[in-house]
Amino acid sequence: MITNIFIHPSTFFILGALLLPLLKKIKLDKIFLIAIPIIAMIQINFLPASFGVCEYLGFKLTFGKVDKLTYVFLHVFTLMSLIGCLYSMHVKDTGHHVAGLLYVGASLGVTLAGDYVTIFIFWELMAFASTFLIWYRRKKQSIEAGFRYLLVHMVGGLILLAGIFLRYKNIHDLSFTRIDVHAAGLAEYLIMIGFMLNAAVPPIHAWLPDAYPEATVAGAVFMCAFTTKTAVYVLARAFPGFEVLAILGAIMTIYGVAYAVIENDARRILAYHIVSQVGYMVCGVGIGTEMAINGACAHAYAHIIYKALLFMGAGSVLEMTGRSKLNELGGLYKYMPYALIFTVIGGISISGFPLTSGFVSKSMIVAAAGEHHRVGLMIMLLIASVGTFLSVGIKMPYFIWFGNKESDIQPKDPPWNMNVAMFIAAFICFFLGVYPDYLYKMLPYAVNYHPYTSYHLSESMQILAFTGFGFYLMVNKLKPDPKINLDVDWFYRKGTIAFMWLAKKPIAIVNDWVNEVYKTVGLKLTMSLAHAFSWFDKEGIDWTIDGAAENVVCGGGYLRNIQTGKIQHYIGGAVVLLFIVLAVIIF
């Protein structure tokens, strides 16, 4: 029985995805594509604390559980869905829009889930739907990357499911609540690994820079916002204060920018920066204080917007030129000025410039590390800030729009809907930077943090200035080269090659030998047994059953012959039978 019935925000997206092909026939698909996120944005403000609670197969399922931690992610997810749908309005493939809506709906389902079964259902739907955002690019590399993406997430889902089973076996409760760091066992760490895979925590991160650059232009905008941030949410909900997350998160920040600095493809640069920026959030969750959790949530909110803006800018270039590699671009400032402006705004936001969203969110995590006396973590986070500005704030815009050469193409600015979506995201980046209290009021805990202090301003400007000066000195060294940078996915790619060789050679040889043995020995033995059973069936079973049936038929015929229809004969027969019975009894 379902109690506290209320419309789940995911319903709008999932139902809209199912109806979209029909709506396209009556030319209402674009209207509904924008209306669905707007309705969801309004509706999340009226959600009760708990709804959609039901009993199923003895399990208590909770489809809606809302608190301040939930709300901040619901708010940015629905806002991002509006920006993403607006950016992708020009896409003609209805299936692409269906996948996008299902993806958003699944992310909202994970965010609102109050138990592990519900989380797992939406978790897998999220992986399945997002795979099509890669496949819809319809290139060989995209198809292959999509399969790798799906297989990796299937493995992560199985690890998560194993942890859920073990946890239920141990405590007989599937409620999705905070886990005590001192009581965590194998089950809890398996669940954490399943969540960490979606957060792209090294060394299980390579699926992200492998898949995101191969997605469609609009698909990458959706993907950069939801998968890793839902993972941050569930980690913040279940695993705050776990030291391993603080350490791995700090490593992520350095790891991501190190690869971003040497990358050539614009969308691979941004993909590696997702790893780096999510590292700040994971580190904040691992520190586990109220300030750190607030910082992780605030940075997730800000990151979703400015990272989407950067992917929209790079995607606009790809959409209009068909290119995304820096060594193939340059001089586009003459032809795509709006995309240039919006991308630069995203770049300074991710770099933490004052008056932008990155300045008021990222610094909260650094301050939390300082309050917690984690000097090593602080240093790693600050070093990552240098790499961020170097690679995304300067290198990527410089070589796309300026560079050392004039581009051999003369593209136009992208369609109006793409520019409007980028304008909205750029406005939010400045709005949050100028008015941080709007964001701070949504955070889970009371905020006692002021980003615009003289120390923070001085520190940030020094880091940015020296990074810019360093780029000026090393610009020739940072010139992009058309090369492939190996990551840990090399191991499972080579492992796949080894597996395919094993399947084609030794296993295939053994299989052929078994087939030959079966043909020469097994098949003859099988046929002999078949003949024996056939003979037994005909001569044994059929003779017995058919003979019994024949005797019954003959007996029936005999009885029919002795039936005269005269009552005196029947009475006489009965008397004779009675004398026979008496004789047997007496003698």
**Tens of each residue's pLDDT in the chain, 587 residues:** 445 557 889 999 999 999 999 998 888 889 999 999 999 999 999 999 888 888 887 788 899 999 999 999 999 999 999 999 999 999 999 999 999 999 999 999 999 999 999 999 999 999 999 999 999 999 999 999 999 999 999 999 999 999 999 999 999 889 999 999 998 999 999 999 999 999 999 999 999 999 999 999 999 999 999 999 999 999 999 999 999 999 999 999 999 999 998 999 999 999 999 999 999 999 999 999 999 999 999 999 999 999 999 999 999 999 999 888 888 888 888 889 999 999 999 999 999 999 999 999 999 999 999 888 888 999 999 999 988 888 888 889 888 888 766 667 788 889 999 999 999 999 999 999 999 999 999 999 998 889 999 888 988 898 888 888 888 888 877 787 787 888 887 787 777 777 777 777 788 777 777 777 767 776 677 777 777 767 666 666 655 665 655 665 565 555 555 555 555 565 666 656 665 655 655 55
Q: Do residues 533 and 451 share a domain?
A: no
Q: Do residues 472 and 570 share a domain?
A: no
Q: Do residues 547 and 492 share a domain?
A: no
Q: Do residues 409 and 483 share a domain?
A: yes
Q: Do residues 516 and 483 share a domain?
A: no
Phi-psi label, residue 229: left if phi above 0, alpha if psi -120 to 50, beta otherwise: alpha
- Give the pTM: 0.85
Q: Do residues 315 and 254 share a domain?
A: yes
Q: Which whole-number Å values give the CA distances from 14 to 38, 122, 129, 224, in the listed order?
A: 15, 11, 11, 20
Residues 430 and 416: their CA atoms lie apart, in Å, by 21
Residue 3 falls inside a structural domain: no
DSSP class of residue 178 equals P
Q: Do residues 428 and 469 share a domain?
A: yes
Judge whether 66 and 112 are in contact, CB under 8 Å.
Answer: yes
Q: Do residues 467 and 554 share a domain?
A: no
Q: Do residues 167 and 56 share a domain?
A: yes
Measured in degrees and rounded to the nearest 5, phi and psi for residue 3 equal -115, 165
Q: Which residues form the domain of 55?
A: 9-496
The token pair at 269 is: 């640069």
Q: Do residues 252 and 158 share a domain?
A: yes
Residue 576 falls inside a structural domain: yes
Residue 212 falls inside a structural domain: yes
User: How many domains does one find in the chain?
Assistant: 2
The token pair at 511 is: 């299989």
Q: Do residues 109 and 226 share a domain?
A: yes
Judge whether 126 and 103 are in contact, CB under 8 Å.
Answer: yes
Beta bridge partners of 50: 65
**Sequence-separated (6 or more) residues with CB below 8 Å from residue 88:** 33, 96, 97, 100, 218, 221, 222
Residue 2 falls inside a structural domain: no
Q: Do residues 439 and 519 share a domain?
A: no
The token pair at 351 is: 């770099």
